[in-house]
Chain A
Amino acid sequence: MRPPSPSIPEKEFVVEALKQGLRLDGRAALEMRRPTLTFGPDLGWVDCSLGKTRVLAQVEAKMVKPPPERPFEGQITIHSEISPMASSEYEQGRPSEEEVTITRMLDKIIRRSDVVDKESLCIQSGQRVWNLRLTVHFLADSGNMLDCACLAAIVALKHFRRPEVEVVGDEVIVHPPTERAPMPLSMHHTPFCLTFAYFQDTSIPAILDPNRLEQRLSAGVMSIALNAQRELCVVQKAGGVPLPPTEILRIVGVSTEKSKELDKFVKERLEDDWKTRKVEVV
């Protein structure tokens, strides 16, 4: 059963408070919820939460035969499905509009912007390549699942290590992690996705990282994916209120700052986690 849209008093209150520059969780308009990253026992297993929104991403690698038209390239497949576990709003089997948007954005950000160097995933041209399978589980929805899912996916890829392989003639030897240290993926860049919500009332400025109620009441969201080097990867705005070009440039500027912060945060967290792991090479 779909929950009803927010009640009239809730709507009025949120809009009234936003006009005064107040958000329900005490954040400023362009402040995001502080992400928390938890790493699992396996490499490439990341649990990311933004407030009460929680997403789990996992990376696995296996060897497959590449298609004949791309013999030198590895493959990345992304599996993301919103189950009713996230919220009673979602139904099993029927993809909601939000799910389609999130799946497409993840595809654009991770696959099409070439985050992972696909040629480095080649083992034997035309014979064997690595297939990376990225699974994204949505555990709880408290708004802005897209940014959370994207952050989880990127960190999972950065955290993942694939086993080292050696090619001798036609033989492929896979070295278990106890023998040789697993290799990190070769990544071109690390984009971060940032979502801004706009309201019908134009006196309310754009807000970053909308929570569930704000997202429901907004008159459109704009998602920007870019890396800390200010290279824009994806700008998505599906309908909603029209925006002047100056506003979009302002948002890109804000996003650059935020993605620099995120980049630093992710690097620190990965380093901290790496210190707790001892990879012993015999």
Chain B
Amino acid sequence: MADIVLPGESVNAKHPNLKLGPGLLQLPGGPLISTKAGTLRHNSNRSKWYVESNSRRYVPAAQEAVIGVVVGKNGAEGFRVDIGGPHNANLDALAFEGATKRNRPNLKVGSLLYARVSLSHKDMEPELECFDAQTRKSEGYGELKGGFVISCSLKTCRQLLDPNHFLIPLLGSKFPLDAAVGLNGRVWVKSKEPKHVIAAVRCMERVDPEGENLDGKSVNEFLDTLDI
């Protein structure tokens, strides 16, 4: 099952309703190749294929939740947001819940945002939105006030979104905290006490596979050594 592929390697995936995920590309004419180094994976009925890898540089993909920093304004129409990718993303000022031409969100340069990538094309700058375009509700997206942002590897972020992952429930059992996980290698945490946030930062760093790659038991022991 664990198949390691390298960039450019041809991948043998066949299904009448084949869907390709990150790291796979169909060339014109039909051959299927991988564009990343990693483990080739597929879902149970072999219709969806993707390459799972770990990296530090984020490449935006549509529908992914990301944490960004406002770096500038596009006149009155929107904002330029750094999402840690190769290009800054554009965020329209109307892509917020309840935003109208008169009532625009009040974001400053340096504000933190939780947003979804709505457009990602290889020849265009990515676009973000802070609401669900169908329901026009915020769905949890919007400005993040206070708290702190932790950088981690992209693999850790994906793992943290798994409801069975131990870290966030474990931290939550020790102290109250708010968290938002962006798939661009940034995790936002907020708690009343700075020492709790620092404990979360230190745990996150030690769980990262690039660092010590600790498991739940060791993190629990580590948390007991901290004064929280």
| A residues less than 8 Å from B147 (CB atoms) | 9, 13
Q: List 22 A-B contacts (CB under 8 A).
A: A3-B82, A4-B71, A4-B82, A8-B110, A8-B112, A9-B147, A9-B149, A10-B149, A11-B110, A13-B146, A13-B147, A13-B148, A13-B197, A16-B194, A17-B197, A17-B198, A20-B194, A22-B194, A24-B201, A25-B201, A25-B205, A26-B198
Q: In the assembled complex, which residues on chain A have CB atoms less than 8 Å from the CB atom of B148?
A: 9-10, 13-14
Q: Shortest CB–CB separation between residue B165 and chain A, in angstroms?
A: 23
Chain B residue with the shortest CB-CB distance to A212: B151
Residues in chain B near residue A8, CB distance under 8 A: 108, 110-112
Residues of A within 8 A of B198 (CB): 17, 22-24, 26
Main secondary structure of the interface of A (DSSP, over half): loop
Smallest CB-CB A-B distances: 5 pairs: A8-B110, A17-B194, A13-B148, A7-B69, A4-B71
B20 at the interface (CB under 8 A from A): no
When the two chains form the complex, which single residue of B111, B194, B202, B226 contacts A7, counting CB atoms closer than 8 Å? B111
State A6–B111 Cα separation when bound (angstroms). 10
B136-165 with Cβ < 8 A to chain A: 144-149
Given contacts A7-B69, A10-B149, A13-B148, contact A26 B110 (CB under 8 A): no
Q: Which of A1-46 contact B (CB under 8 A)?
A: 1, 3-14, 16-17, 20, 22-26
A-contact 0/1 string along B32-56, CB 8 Å cutoff: 0000000000000000000000000
A residues near B69, Cβ cutoff 8 Å: 4, 7
For residues 95 through 133 of chain B, which have their beta carbon under 8 Å from a beta carbon of chain A?
Answer: 108, 110-112
* Distance between Cα atoms of A17 and B108 in the complex (Å): 23
State how many angstroms separate the Cβ of B18 from the closest Cβ of chain A.
35
- Residues of B180-215 at the interface with A, using a CB-CB cut-off of 8 Å, are 194-195, 197-198, 201-202, 205
CA distance A64 to B144 in the complex (A): 61
Q: Which residue of B lies closest to A51 (CB)?
A: B205
Which positions in B face A, CB cutoff 8 Å? 69, 71, 82, 86, 108, 110-112, 144-149, 194-195, 197-198, 201-202, 205, 226
B144 near A9: Cβ-Cβ < 8 Å:
yes
A-B CB pair tally, cutoff 8 Å? 54
Q: How far is the CA of A202 from the CA of B112 in the complex (A)?
A: 27
Known interface pairs A20-B194, A22-B194; 16 further A-B residue pairs with C-beta atoms within 8 A, sorted by A's residue number? A1-B86, A4-B110, A7-B111, A7-B112, A8-B108, A8-B112, A10-B149, A11-B110, A12-B146, A13-B148, A14-B148, A16-B194, A17-B197, A20-B195, A24-B201, A26-B202
Instruction: Give A199-229 as 1s and 0s: 1 = Cβ < 8 Å from B's Cβ atoms.
Output: 0000000000000000000000000000000
Bound-state CA distance A23–B201 (Å) is 11
Q: Which residues of A contact B195 (CB under 8 A)?
A: 20, 22
Of chain A, the residue at the smallest CB distance from B86 is: A1
Q: Point out the residues of chain B lying under 8 angstroms from A26, CB to CB.
A: 198, 202, 226
CA distance A7 to B110 in the complex (A): 4
B189 — nearest CB in chain A belongs to which residue? A13
Cα A171 to Cα B148 in complex, Å, equals 67
Known contacts A22-B194, A24-B201, A25-B202, A9 near B82 by CB under 8 Å: no
Q: Complex formed: what's the CA distance from A201 to B108 in Å?
A: 22
Q: Are B201 and A7 in contact (CB under 8 A)?
A: no
Question: Could you tell me the distance between the alpha carbons of A14 and B201 in the complex, rounded to whole angstroms?
Answer: 12
Contacts of A25 in B (CB 8 A): 201-202, 205
Q: Distance (Å) between the CB of A211 and the closest chain B CB?
A: 11
**Which residues of chain B are within 8 angstroms of A23 by Cβ–Cβ distance?**
198
- Shortest CB-to-CB span from B150 to chain A, Å, is 9
Task: For B149, give the chain A residue with the smallest CB separation.
Answer: A10
Measured between beta carbons, the chain A residues less than 8 angstroms from B197 are 13, 17
Contacts of B71 in A (CB 8 A): 4
Contacts of B226 in A (CB 8 A): 26
Asked if B146 and A7 make an inter-chain contact with CB atoms under 8 angstroms apart, the answer reads: no
Contact with B along A78-93 (1 / 0, CB 8 A): 0000000000000000
